[in-house]
Amino acid sequence: GIQVEQSPPDLILQEGANSTLRCNFSDSVNNLQWFHQNPWGQLINLFYIPSGTKQNGRLSATTVATERYSLLYISSSQTTDSGVYFCAVERLNTGFQKLVFGTGTRLLVSP
Amino acid sequence: DTEVTQTPKHLVMGMTNKKSLKCEQHMGHRAMYWYKQKAKKPPELMFVYSYEKLSINESVPSRFSPECPNSSLLNLHLHALQPEDSALYLCASSQDKGGGNYGYTFGSGTRLTVV
């Protein structure tokens, strides 16, 4: 099956700092999403981004599908950004839905 | 309504109990999913329903029994579970194959403890 690796696995930031999270995947995809999982377990959809660049407030994401990676940028981080960030992908031409999650990046933003 | 609602939020059950997890969405999505997440691990797919029919079963033990009564509802029936089945169970929905243009929407999960 498709492999999805995220880096770094853990990240500690001071409030106000910027960061870049990376997601590498091993095969062509037709769906890529970034999620934030809060301490209560809720998976919050940040971006649907199989290709290109999107921005939403302090967050932005870029996927370079031909090179099989995606980046999530967090600017001016806040303590509420803490949690686990997952990218998840669907492999191209599998016929049906099978969203595979990456290994995750655990982010802690301290005041 | 852009939410997936899961009940209950927490469940403690004995190994001989029978219980059910429920999931509901009113976004008109035609695909619904169950995922299982152990502590400090990513979610893993269990089942996929597409147009109310089971399309993927990821070799899940028969003590987990999914049911899709209609296009808005998804249940997961639990029977004779083991302590290692304790996990966060997440429900999701999407428009259809490929997640449509908006991807998957997840519920807040049911945190299950088997004693």
More confident residue, A91 or B52: B52
CB contact under 8 A, B43 and A104: no
Query: Measured between alpha carbons, how far is A31 from A35 in angstroms, rounded to an integer?
Result: 13
pLDDT in tens, A13-64: 999 999 999 999 999 988 899 999 998 899 999 999 999 999 999 999 999 9
Position A12 scores a pLDDT of 97
Q: With pLDDT > 90 as the criterion, what percentage of chain B qualifies?
A: 80
Query: Measured between alpha carbons, how far is B63 from B15 in angstroms, rounded to an integer?
Result: 11
- Chain B partners within 8 Å of A88 (Cβ): 104
Query: Measured between alpha carbons, how far is B88 from A65 in angstroms, rounded to an integer?
Result: 31
- Judged by a CB distance cut-off of 8 A, whether residue B113 touches chain A is no
Position B101 scores a pLDDT of 61
Cis peptide before B8, with omega less than 30 degrees from 0?
yes
Closest chain A residue to the Cα of B32, Cα to Cα: A97
Position A98 scores a pLDDT of 83
Closest Cβ opposite residue B99 in set A31, A43, A101: A31
